[in-house]
Amino acid sequence: MAALQGSIIPGFHGTVLTPSSPQYASANQRFSQTAVLKPAYIAQPAVDSDIPLALQFALKHHDPLEIAVKGGGVNPYPAANTNGGLVVDMSQLKSVKFSADKKTVTVGGGALWGDVYAEADKQGVVVVGGSVFLVGAGGSTLAGGYSPLSGQYGMAVDNMVRASVVLADGRSVTTDATHEPDLFFAIRGGVNQFGIVTEMVFQTHPFPGPITVGSLGYLGTDLPKVLQALHNHFAHQDPSSKMILMFARSPPDFSPTILILPYIENKKTNPDTVLAPFRQTATPIFEALSVVNNFTAVAHAADSALTGQPPRANIDGALYSDLWDDVATDVYQKWVEFTGQSKFQSTIVMWEFSHRDKIASVPVGATAFAARSPHFYMTVTARYSDASDDSQVAQWTSQIAKSVKQAQIQKTGKPLPIPASLAQSPQTESVQDVFGPNLPRLRTVKKTYDARKVWNRGWVIDPAL
Ligand SMILES: Cc1cc2nc3c(=O)[nH]c(=O)nc-3n(C[C@H](O)[C@H](O)[C@H](O)COP(=O)(O)OP(=O)(O)OC[C@H]3O[C@@H](n4cnc5c(N)ncnc54)[C@H](O)[C@@H]3O)c2cc1C
């Protein structure tokens, strides 16, 4: 039995795994095999106070160990893992507790959004979090956190009112607008650069009632009509509704297909009215819509698209101010060509359209999440099986994302930051690209909270001089 119950880290209540532990392989699993490395230790804290012990163990090692933090394990970029170092695996710290008045919820740093929604459904409230159940609340929120609810309530970070953080020196602090306010600014977009977040407190919102989700499918050749339908939709878009435009090839024939994936709160807008442009301006070849009565079902709406996928993923993304038909058409053509190779046919492109005003109503300097101009976002998710294709795939996804970023600059003169949750890697996007105008303040906060750069994975912020 090689799972070490604290024996290797004195006082540790949780489990410490090494490569010879039977549970090591499953604890080392990720959404994408690209993020599966070989840590020397996987420390799974059972209580928050285990975390400083794991940090001390790593840093006092005769040759200090690199430290990585695993939240939901969804990011394909290996920054949440390490070769030869120590992973703090937050998977046992996933409690979800509501306040007596249900107005706030305290979420453990290792919870998945699916854990949060399961409890929120019981309370009759919603929480602003990721669209898919398997996404880590920690990793997604600390990068900003887009949600199906963002058009109404902003980013996940805009709904976070307090957090508990274990700092690089092992101290555990609580931070909010008045306690350690610089740290509170920094963790709301600064990702893993300031500490390990053990708890996040979010405000909740009332459950909106029945929600229409699912998909409408179109022939690839109908892209111009679907784009026109989206423009018609934007002219009357209610903040409560969201549309996703998706390029996907689906079995059995894997021909290029355009999908519209709606999120419509039926009590706020009539789904038939909202969907009218998507039925009249363009004609769907199929409709697979359902009305669901809880947020767990919303977060599972894409299950069939997520199962049975090739094991490797590479994701890159871009923010853009407006839907430009020429840009979407150019990306579509490149996607058709790339996915014409059967080994890449599961690759998808998603263009997400929430109402833009709410996120942009927060000043740029209020949180480290810097994308506060009205915008939409898109992601390219390449799925494939063979590690020998890694560099070709990474190059292709970054080229697609880059073409959208360049169009943004050409058409508006204004680059938009790219949140770390949607970016590919520090080789592709710089620290400046990710943190944008907030980088100088983040460097100052880094000097206060992590001058020695203990948190040195991913987009590493250099402390101010
Ligand atoms: C299928 C899919 C759906 C997605 N949907 C959305 C969406 O709806 N909205 C959205 O905004 N993004 C979405 N994303 C992107 C997602 O937010 C990022 O991949 C995010 O980094 C995942 O966080 P994680 O905790 O699951 O991942 P991990 O790989 O475990 O962690 C990602 C990063 O966060 C750090 N981290 C995680 N937890 C903590 C913690 N408690 N304290 C400190 N650092 C921590 C890690 O060290 C790492 O740097 C999606 C991604 C996928 C693959």
Copy the structure tokens of residue 13: 């209540």
In a domain? residue 454: no
230/262 same-domain check: yes
Cα of 162 from ligand 1 centre, angstroms: 19
| Nearest residue (CA) to ligand 1, atom 34 | 139
Distances 435 to 167, 176, 278, 284 between C-alpha atoms, Å: 20, 20, 36, 40
Report the CATH number that the domain containing residue 335 is assigned in CATH. 3.40.462.20
Q: Is the CB of residue 135 below 6 angstroms from any atom belonging to ligand 1?
A: yes
Q: Is the CB of residue 70 below 6 angstroms from any atom belonging to ligand 1?
A: yes
Q: Which atom of ligand 1 is nearest to the CA of 30?
A: 29
pLDDT tens digits along 56-87: 999 998 889 999 999 999 999 999 999 999 99
Please list the alpha-helical segments (H only) found in 281-324.
295-299, 303-306
pLDDT confidence of residue 175: 98
In a domain? residue 295: yes
Report the CATH number that the domain containing residue 168 is assigned in CATH. 3.30.465.10
Q: Which atom of ligand 1 is nearest to the CA of 306?
A: 1
* Mean pLDDT value of segment 300-328: 96
Mutational test site, ligand 1, from 29, 140, 263, max ligand atoms within 8 Å of CB: 140
Q: Is the CB of residue 142 below 6 angstroms from any atom belonging to ligand 1?
A: yes
Model confidence at 6, pLDDT cuts 50, 70, 90, reads: low
Model confidence at 3, pLDDT cuts 50, 70, 90, reads: low
Task: Name residues whose C-beta falls within 8 Å of residue 257's C-beta, 6 or more positions apart in sequence.
Answer: 217, 218, 219, 220, 247, 248, 249, 250
- In whole angstroms, give the CA distance from residue 370 to residue 144: 9
Q: Is the CB of residue 79 below 6 angstroms from any atom belonging to ligand 1?
A: yes
Cα of 11 from ligand 1 centre, angstroms: 29
180/46 same-domain check: no
pLDDT confidence of residue 1: 41
Reported as type and span, the H/E element at residue 292 is strand 286-292
Q: Which atom of ligand 1 is nearest to the CA of 31?
A: 53
Distances 188 to 113, 163, 181 between C-alpha atoms, Å: 17, 10, 11
pLDDT confidence of residue 5: 56
| Nearest residue (CA) to ligand 1, atom 38 | 71
In a domain? residue 429: no
Share of the chain above pLDDT 90, in %: 95
Q: Is the CB of residue 73 below 6 angstroms from any atom belonging to ligand 1?
A: yes
Amino acid at 83: N
β-strand 104-108 against 96-98: which pairing, if any?
A: antiparallel
Task: Note whether 140 and 189 are within 8 A (CB).
Answer: no
198/223 same-domain check: no
Task: Name residues whose C-beta falls within 8 Å of residue 341's C-beta, 6 or more positions apart in sequence.
Answer: none
Q: Is the CB of residue 370 below 6 angstroms from any atom belonging to ligand 1?
A: no
- In whole angstroms, give the CA distance from residue 275 to residue 297: 20
Copy the structure tokens of residue 414: 């204004």
23/149 same-domain check: no
- Does the pLDDT at position 4 exceed 60? no
Q: Which atom of ligand 1 is nearest to the CA of 112?
A: 26
Cα of 427 from ligand 1 centre, angstroms: 19
Q: Which of 207, 241, 265 is the last residue of a domain?
A: 207
297/200 same-domain check: no
- Give the domain extent around 234: 211-412
389/294 same-domain check: yes
Please list the alpha-helical segments (H only) found in 66-202.
113-123, 137-142, 150-153, 181-187
β-strand 41-44 against 86-89: which pairing, if any?
A: parallel
- In whole angstroms, give the CA distance from residue 348 to residue 249: 8
In a domain? residue 108: yes
Task: Name residues whose C-beta falls within 8 Å of residue 9's C-beta, 6 or more positions apart in sequence.
Answer: 16, 43, 50, 53, 54, 57
Task: Note whether 428 and 179 are within 8 A (CB).
Answer: no
Cα of 34 from ligand 1 centre, angstroms: 15
**For the chain, first and last CA: distance in Å?**
48
Question: DSSP assignment, residue 64?
Answer: P
230/193 same-domain check: no
Report the CATH number that the domain containing residue 55 is assigned in CATH. 3.30.43.10
In a domain? residue 250: yes
Task: Note whether 151 and 193 are within 8 A (CB).
Answer: no
In a domain? residue 174: yes
Mutational test site, ligand 1, from 421, 425, 455, 461, max ligand atoms within 8 Å of CB: 421
* Mean pLDDT value of segment 239-257: 95
Copy the structure tokens of residue 358: 């709410």
pLDDT confidence of residue 62: 84
Q: Is the CB of residue 108 below 6 angstroms from any atom belonging to ligand 1?
A: no
Task: Note whether 3 and 22 are within 8 A (CB).
Answer: yes
Q: Is the CB of residue 45 below 6 angstroms from any atom belonging to ligand 1?
A: no
- In whole angstroms, give the CA distance from residue 330 to residue 144: 28
274/353 same-domain check: yes
- In whole angstroms, give the CA distance from residue 284 to residue 217: 5
Cα of 288 from ligand 1 centre, angstroms: 28
Q: Is the CB of residue 71 below 6 angstroms from any atom belonging to ligand 1?
A: yes
Distances 85 to 39, 142, 180, 308, 456 between C-alpha atoms, Å: 5, 22, 30, 31, 12
Tally of structural domains, the chain = 3
Q: State the CB neighbour count (10 A cutoff) for residue 181.
A: 12
Task: Name residues whose C-beta falls within 8 Å of residue 137's C-beta, 6 or more positions apart in sequence.
Answer: 71, 72, 107, 109, 111, 112, 113, 115, 116, 129, 130, 156, 200
Average pLDDT, the chain: 96
| Nearest residue (CA) to ligand 1, atom 3 | 132
Q: Which atom of ligand 1 is nearest to the CA of 165?
A: 42
Task: Name residues whose C-beta falls within 8 Å of residue 279's C-beta, 6 or more positions apart in sequence.
Answer: 216
Task: Note whether 126 and 295 are within 8 A (CB).
Answer: yes
Q: Is the CB of residue 14 below 6 angstroms from any atom belonging to ligand 1?
A: no
In a domain? residue 10: no
112/155 same-domain check: yes
- Is the omega angle on the peptide bond into residue 252 within 30 degrees of 0, that is, cis? yes
pLDDT tens digits along 404-419: 999 999 999 999 999 9
Q: State the CB neighbour count (10 A cutoff) for residue 211.
A: 27
pLDDT confidence of residue 81: 97
Q: Is the CB of residue 256 below 6 angstroms from any atom belonging to ligand 1?
A: no
Cα of 128 from ligand 1 centre, angstroms: 15
Nearest to 275 by CA among 231, 240, 229, 235: 229
Q: State the CB neighbour count (10 A cutoff) for residue 322.
A: 15
In a domain? residue 346: yes
* Mean pLDDT value of segment 231-235: 95
Q: Which of 90, 112, 143 is the last residue of a domain?
A: 90
Reported as type and span, the H/E element at residue 446 is helix 439-450
Nearest to 193 by CA among 465, 446, 451: 446
Cα of 166 from ligand 1 centre, angstroms: 18
79/183 same-domain check: no
- Does the pLDDT at position 448 exceed 60? yes
329/244 same-domain check: yes
175/193 same-domain check: yes
Look at the block and give the residue holding tokens 């976002």: 377
Model confidence at 251, pLDDT cuts 50, 70, 90, reads: confident
- In whole angstroms, give the CA distance from residue 209 to residue 266: 7
Q: Which of 174, 207, 240 is the last residue of a domain?
A: 207
